[in-house]
Structure 1
Amino acid sequence: MLPGVKVGVKVQEFRVPGARLRYRQWGHSGPPVVLIHGLSGSWRWWRRNVGALSRAHRVYVLDLSGYGHTLAWRQRSLGVRADAALIVRWLEAQEMTHVTLIGHSMGGHIALHAAALAPERVDALVLACASGLLREHPVRAALHLPRAAVTGRISFLPVVLADAGRAGLPNLWRSASRLLRDSVQELLPGIRARTLVIWGARDALVPAALGRQLASAIPGAQYVELPRAGHVVMVDEPAPFNRAVLDFLAAEQPT
């Protein structure tokens, strides 16, 4: 059950040839906020955040192609650039503007590409332990997973494993290899969206030093580091994460 929000929210789909985007919506008023999960993730990774965010915003929680549901492994994961293009097409179909994209890990990487593709639609970004500057071979990156498991919230590990199983190894490998070959470095100086970069100080997969580097390269970006959080920062420290995001979003509202 999602604390503070109604259960049984309808799953909707946006389809294009060869791909589909599944999403759920909480809240019916306020500026739109879109939550994008990371590698092996799903909408479930945001369950500690949706309630707080949906009090003043329309919150859309995505399941990317190849992720998030029982038969996800039968779909093909797309890679960060194709995922970004699909999200932009969905925003266009929904006629959605003044959007905040909140992306975790691979989702933050995707959010940066989407913001660069559609600056007229994306007003703000929240990048949580985003992978855009990480440069490692997928096998070497996987060696950090045991440490990442013990530096995060242990009770969340069954969700991680279940969602990885739903996606399947081919989708995970495809996504990981594509994101690790793709750098957002050249995009960063041209990002026009207001940006909050938020990181876990104990992140064993994408070190906090990369978070500080990311924030310094985006004009005007804010940086917040949560000392007790690991890689899944919004799960490890949901209250301070939600507070930081809501303070950031409130600052962009008209007074």
Structure 2
Amino acid sequence: MRSLEFRSRGATLRYDQTGQGDPIVLVHGLSGSGRWWRRNIPALSAAHRVYVLDLAGYGQAYRQRALGVRDAATLIAAWMDSLDLRRVTLIGHSLGGHISMHVAALRPGRVQNLVLACASGLLRGSLYRVALNLPRAALTGRLTFVPRILADAARSGPRNLWRSTTDLLKDSVQELLPQLTARTLVIWGGRDALVPPALGRALAQAIPGARYEEIPRAGHVVMVDAPARFNALVLDFLREGAGEA
């Protein structure tokens, strides 16, 4: 796997690349990193070129100031332009899904497929209430993954977590959703205590032609809690899209 970076307007996007084929771009969530896709990359890269991003302020890019949702989307869109990526499958988890919806709206000619995993686009409430749900969200998922969650959160630091959380709670995608043209798959964990499944169903209903899939025993980090099922849903969705084309 190759580690690379892209710079634009003072911000740096760090990413790893592996595999060959049409591109899949993985965008992690709040307090996360590219490591959160470790259980998904082997299956996805078997027939695709996979790009694993680290958002500014997180993962390999933890020394940077975290960007707001829309600024992060603008940076990713510029990065896709720089590589001339086409027929992109954009997969975003939580905050990464929120950002991915903006990217798909900015570059409809590049993003062919959109996979939203427990995306935060419709999440509302105070920062205090969201913070109260974080411990419960961690405990309803795979317990062996909790040390990774804590390590990545500590590495990013409270300032970046604060910036990202306050910005995502202010940013609404409601008016954006009916305009999305990418084929869309919405995947949710049935035990998600941070972004409830009801918001996932509402998200899917608002996006034209979107499909909703719920994994009953998975929590908020659905691709970690049920990787085999998550991978199968994504790959089946992509095969169906290839057949339609």
Please give the TM-score of this superposition, normalised by the length of structure 1.
Answer: 0.94
Counterpart of 1:252 in structure 2 is 241
Residue 47 of structure 1 aligns with an amino acid whose one-letter code is R
Contact 2:90 2:114 in 1 (8 A): yes
Counterpart of 2:6 in structure 1 is 14
- Rounded to whole Å, the distance in 1 between the matches of 2:130 and 2:213 is 24
SS at match of 1:132: coil
SS at match of 2:85: coil
Residue 14 of structure 1 aligns with an amino acid whose one-letter code is F
Counterpart of 2:221 in structure 1 is 232
Percentage of pairs with the same residue: 66
- Rounded to whole Å, the distance in 1 between the matches of 2:240 and 2:189 is 22
- Superposed CA deviations along residues 40-87 of structure 1, whole A, max 9, x for unmatched, are 000000000000000111000000011103x71x31100110000000
- Rounded to whole Å, the distance in 2 between the matches of 1:40 and 1:165 is 8
Contact 2:2 2:18 in 1 (8 A): no
Contact 2:14 2:55 in 1 (8 A): yes
Counterpart of 2:22 in structure 1 is 31
Pick aligned residue for 2:211 from 193, 198, 222: 222
- Superposed CA deviations along residues 165-222 of structure 1, whole A, max 9, x for unmatched, are 1111100000000000001000000100000000000000000000000000000000
Q: Any residues of structure 2 matched to 1:1-255 within 5 Å, and which?
A: 9-28=1-20, 30-69=21-60, 72=62, 74-254=63-243
Runs of 4+ residues deviating >6 angstroms: none
Residue 34 of structure 1 aligns with an amino acid whose one-letter code is V
How far the C-alpha of 1:124 sits from its partner, in A, is 0.8
How far the C-alpha of 1:96 sits from its partner, in A, is 0.6
SS at match of 1:202: coil
- Rounded to whole Å, the distance in 2 between the matches of 1:138 and 1:15 is 31
User: What is the root-mean-square deviation in Å for CA atoms of aligned residues?
Assistant: 0.9
- Rounded to whole Å, the distance in 2 between the matches of 1:254 and 1:22 is 33
- Rounded to whole Å, the distance in 2 between the matches of 1:139 and 1:26 is 39
Aligned length, in residue pairs: 244
SS at match of 1:61: strand
Counterpart of 1:5 in structure 2 is none
- Rounded to whole Å, the distance in 2 between the matches of 1:147 and 1:161 is 14
Residue 6 of structure 2 aligns with an amino acid whose one-letter code is F
How far the C-alpha of 1:10 sits from its partner, in A, is 2.5
SS at match of 2:154: helix
Listed as ranges, the gaps of 5+ residues in structure 2 are none
- Rounded to whole Å, the distance in 2 between the matches of 1:18 and 1:163 is 23
How far the C-alpha of 1:254 sits from its partner, in A, is 4.2
Please give the TM-score of this superposition, normalised by the length of structure 2.
Answer: 0.98
